[in-house]
Amino acid sequence: MSLRAIIIYCLLALAASWGIQYSGLAVLGAFDGPEAAPWLLASMWSPTIVALGFLVFHRPARRGLLWKPTLPSLPLALVAIGVPTLTAFGLVAVFEALGWGDAGWFDFAVNGVTITGGPWKLGEGSQNWPLFVANMAVTGIWFAVLNLQAAVGEEFAWRGFLQGHMTGRLGRTVGLTCLGLFWSYWHLPSLLAGYNFPDHPVLGALVLFPVTLVAMTFFYGWLTLRARSFWPAALAHGATNSIQIGVISNLKLTVPSLYLDLAGLVVSILIGLLAWWALSRRQVRAAERQTAPA
């Protein structure tokens, strides 16, 4: 697509999402209960609905579409789910070690873990380390797949459709950075209403979330290019919205929540930098050339 067409798509996607979010906030007052789910789901699917319109009526939009599952998607799916899961438990471990919080659902010991709550697919109670690891893996996969119903709505649009056009026009680093910033500000009404950062919504909306999503755009972009498909990115998104947020949100903090938000930001930046380095490797550059829109 031309740069003009990309800008038009972004403006339409932004208008659709902001319209849904502001309407939901006007009706509900805040997105802090189960009644918010339909509004959030509609918002998450809005960029794909707009993308489908472009695919039907704008022929250049169809070039470089990365929507089919591929063979490399299978091992990359484990990476996609594993990174958010390990991020969550890594943050819990650091905060417990520093005395900044308690794991909430877990009591860790040398010989194993006692699980006191949560939706774990292999049960609760005392578990040795191999069973606990298996429990977390099975649960992470289960909820990542379950959350595809929402994550696909964003990831088909961002990674399957828009990423190739943006990097093709702006270059890999600038294109992915712009995509990450757009992805963040696409969430702006909910962010300013305190959905992700209730204790500091403005700082979260204007600084923390944009930097986080730029970093994660490089990780999701790497997954997409290696797989030549958006599906691993959708699984990573689903795992982030389920097991990662679930584990972290049950951390009982003894410090202000900003400590946790900043720690999460640092981890996201490290993941993003690693993905940026990986994107410069020869195999990924070759995949990028093969999938770039003509």
pLDDT digits (tens, 9 = 90+) for 22-80: 999 999 999 988 999 999 999 999 999 999 999 999 999 999 999 999 999 999 999 99
What is the extent of the structural domain holding 164? 64-291
Task: Tell whether 49 is covered by a domain.
Answer: no
Task: Tell whether 30 is covered by a domain.
Answer: no
Beta strands in the chain (DSSP E): 101-102, 106-108, 112-115, 125-128, 252-253
pLDDT band at residue 290 under the 50/70/90 scheme: low
Task: Tell whether 75 is covered by a domain.
Answer: yes
Q: For residues 10 and 182, is the Cβ–Cβ distance under 8 A?
A: yes
pLDDT at residue 35, as a whole number: 95
Locate 67 and state its tokens: 């929507």
Task: Tell whether 279 is covered by a domain.
Answer: yes
At 125, phi and psi to the nearest 5? 90, -165
pLDDT at residue 104, as a whole number: 87
Q: Say how many C-beta atoms besides its own lie within 10 A of residue 269's C-beta.
A: 16
Mean pLDDT for the stretch of residues 173-199:
96
Distance set, CA 142 to CA 54, 195, 258 (Å): 33, 25, 30
Q: Say how many C-beta atoms besides its own lie within 10 A of residue 71's C-beta.
A: 10
Locate 161 and state its tokens: 């459709």
Q: What is the pTM of this model?
A: 0.94
pLDDT at residue 141, as a whole number: 96
Mean pLDDT for the stretch of residues 101-108:
92
Domain count of the fold of the chain = 1
**192-228: buried (b, 16+ CB within 10 Å) or exposed (e) per residue?**
bbbbbbeeebeebbeebbbbbbbbbbbbbbbbbbbbb
pLDDT at residue 288, as a whole number: 59
Q: For residues 69 and 155, is the Cβ–Cβ distance under 8 A?
A: no
Mean pLDDT for the stretch of residues 242-247:
95
pLDDT at residue 165, as a whole number: 96
Mean pLDDT for the stretch of residues 89-98:
94
pLDDT at residue 228, as a whole number: 95
Task: Tell whether 95 is covered by a domain.
Answer: yes
**126-145: buried (b, 16+ CB within 10 Å) or exposed (e) per residue?**
ebeeeebeebbbebbbbbbb
Q: Say how many C-beta atoms besides its own lie within 10 A of residue 56's C-beta.
A: 10
Mean pLDDT for the stretch of residues 224-244:
96
Locate 37 and state its tokens: 């789910």
Task: Tell whether 171 is covered by a domain.
Answer: yes
pLDDT at residue 281, as a whole number: 77
Locate 155 and state its tokens: 């990831």
Task: Tell whether 51 is covered by a domain.
Answer: no
Task: Tell whether 41 is covered by a domain.
Answer: no
